[in-house]
Amino acid sequence: MGIYGKTSDNVSMPYQFAARTRKTPRSFIREILKVTERPEIISFAGGLPDPALIAVKEIAEAARLVFESEGAAALQYATTEGYAPLREFVAGRYRRRLGLDASPDEILITSGSQQSLDLIGKVFIDAGEAVAIERPGYLGAIQAFSLYEPTFCPVPLGEDGPDTGALADLLQEKKIRLFYGVPNSQNPSGITWSEKKRREVAALLREAGAVFVEDDAYGELRFSGDPMTPVKKHLPEGTIMTGSFSKIAAPGMRLGWIYAEKEVIDLLTVAKQATDLHTPILTQRILARYLADNDIDAPIRRICETYRRRCDLMGGLIDDLFPEEVTHTRPDGGMFIWATLPAGISSLDLFERGLAENVAVLPGIPFYTDGGGTDTLRLNFSNATDERIEEGIRRLARVLRTYA
C-alpha cells in the first residue's frame, strides 16, 4: 500500500473528476486501520476512545425518553443552527469552565468536528489561499481543507507550542488568512501549548489580521490541573473554536460544534444548509436529554483518570524498553504519544515489521504537509487495556532491537 493509499487517479472509468478530488488522497489512517483491525493485532495505530467508557446505558435511557415524549419532533426536519438546549449547554459550559463570554447564537451544532473543519474550509479557503498549520498537523484537518485547495504553510511545533518566530516570519512574508491549530493535547503529538505561546500567537495573528481556528477536541481530556486558557480568550474576535462530543460522550453520535462570532456563524450556517440542511435532530435530542439527566463531569473524570494511567504506563514502558535514542512526548491529556526514532529507522519500515509481530503503530508521515517526518510515529493509548499496552510495547521493543 502506498503511503497515501489509492487516489481517484487510479480509477479507469469515463468520469471526469474535479481536480480537487483527484488531488485529495483517501485518509491514510482509515486505510491503515483496515489492516490493523485483526483481533490478534495489538493496535496503537487508531484513535478511538475506549468503548468501555461510553455511557451506553444512560444514553439508551435518554433515547427511550426522547422517543416516548418527543418522538415526532425528534424525527422531523429541524433548524440548521442546531437544537437550542444543546447550543445552550455548549455556551453555558464555555462560560463556566473557561470564562468565555459565549452565547447560544454563537454556537452552530455540526455532525462532529470533522464537519466543522469542512465548513470552515468551505467558507474561508479559496483555491491557492495560504493556510498556516502546525507541523506536524492534524491529518483530518489537512484532508478537510485539501478539498478547498489551499497552499499549506507549516509552522514547526516545539515542546510548548508553535515556533512563534517562524509564525512571525511567515505572517510577514505571506498574506495568511487562517492558522489552524490544536492547542490542547494535540493530535498527533500530544503537545499542549504553554500560556505564553497562546498569548504570543494571539498577538501575532491580531497584528496580521489573520484568523485562528482553535480545534479543541481534547480540552476536556486534560489529566490534571486547571484548564488552559483558550486562544479565543486572548483573541475573541478572530478565533473560531471547534469542539466535539466524540471524546466525552460518544463519537458514533457524530455531534460537535463551532463557536464563533454571530456573523461568522451566519455564514457557516449557510454553508451547512447547502451541505446537509441540519445535524440529525434525533441524536441531538438524545444527547441533550442525556446531558440534562446526567452529570457529564463524572464520566469525563473517569475518562481522564483512565487515559492518564494508560499514558503514564505507555510512556514508562517506552523509557524502560525502547533504545535510549527514541524520544517521546509526555502528554498532559488527550489520547496520543508521539515518538521520534533514531536516525536511519523509517516509521514505515517499523510499521511493516511491527505488523509481522502483530503490533501496529501509525507512521507520522501523513501529518506533514511538506514531506518529512519519516522518523516519527503516533501511539494511541486510549483504546488498549493495561495488559495490551504492556504486551504491545514489549513487542515493539523487540522489533526495534532488530535494527541494531
In the complex, the smallest distance separating the C-beta of residue 71 from ligand PMP, rounded to whole angstroms, is: 26
CB nearer ligand PMP, residue 81 or residue 215: 215
Q: Which of 80, 113, 192, 269 binds ligand PMP (CB under 6 A)?
A: 113
Question: Is residue 24 within the footprint of ligand PMP (CB under 6 A)?
Answer: no
In the complex, the smallest distance separating the C-beta of residue 144 from ligand PMP, rounded to whole angstroms, is: 9
In the complex, the smallest distance separating the C-beta of residue 116 from ligand PMP, rounded to whole angstroms, is: 7
Interaction residues for ligand PMP, span 277-296 (CB under 6 A): none
CB nearer ligand PMP, residue 131 or residue 217: 217
Q: What is the number of the residue whose Cβ is closest to ligand PMP?
A: 112
CB nearer ligand PMP, residue 275 or residue 358: 275
Region from 85-93, 108-116, 193-201, 376-384 binding ligand PMP, contact rule CB under 6 A: 108-116
Q: Which of 36, 43, 80, 114 binds ligand PMP (CB under 6 A)?
A: 114
Region from 112-120, 125-133, 201-209, 343-351 binding ligand PMP, contact rule CB under 6 A: 112-120
Region from 33-41, 111-119, 299-307, 352-360 binding ligand PMP, contact rule CB under 6 A: 111-119
Interaction residues for ligand PMP, span 134-173 (CB under 6 A): 138, 140
- By rule CB under 6 A, what count of residues binds ligand PMP? 14
CB nearer ligand PMP, residue 264 or residue 335: 335
Give the per-residue contact string, 230-269, with ligand PMP (x = CB under 6 A; - = no): --------------x-x----x----x-------------
Region from 69-77, 110-118, 129-137, 311-319 binding ligand PMP, contact rule CB under 6 A: 110-118
Burial class (CB in 10 A: 0-12, 13-18, 19+), 227: middle
CB nearer ligand PMP, residue 138 or residue 381: 138
150 prior amide bond cis, ω within 30: no
In the complex, the smallest distance separating the C-beta of residue 216 from ligand PMP, rounded to whole angstroms, is: 8
In the complex, the smallest distance separating the C-beta of residue 404 from ligand PMP, rounded to whole angstroms, is: 34
CB nearer ligand PMP, residue 29 or residue 42: 29
CB nearer ligand PMP, residue 63 or residue 191: 191
Nearest to 146 by CA among 18, 278, 16: 18
Question: Is residue 215 within the footprint of ligand PMP (CB under 6 A)?
Answer: yes
User: With helix as H, strand as E and coil as C, how does the chain read?
Assistant: CCCCCCCHHHCCCCCCCCHHHHHCCCCHHHHHHHHHCCCCCEECCCCCCCHHHCCHHHHHHHHHHHHHHHHHHHCCCCCCCCCHHHHHHHHHHHHHHHCCCCCHHHEEEECCHHHHHHHHHHHHCCCCCEEEEEECCCHHHHHHHHCCCCEEEEEEEECCEECHHHHHHHHHHCCEEEEEECCCCCCCCCCCCCHHHHHHHHHHHHHHCCEEEEECCCHHHECCCCCCCCHHHHCCCCEEEEEECCCCCCHHHCCEEEECCHHHHHHHHHHHHHHHCCCCHHHHHHHHHHHHHCCCHHHHHHHHHHHHHHHHHHHHHHHHHCCCCCEECCCCECCEEEEECCCCCCHHHHHHHHHHCCEECEECHHHCCCCCCCCEEEEECCCCCHHHHHHHHHHHHHHHHCCC
Question: What gap in Å lies between CA 86 and CA 68, rounded to an integer?
Answer: 19
Which residues would be at the binding site for ligand PMP (CB under 6 A)?
47, 112-114, 138, 140, 182, 187, 215, 217, 244, 246, 251, 256
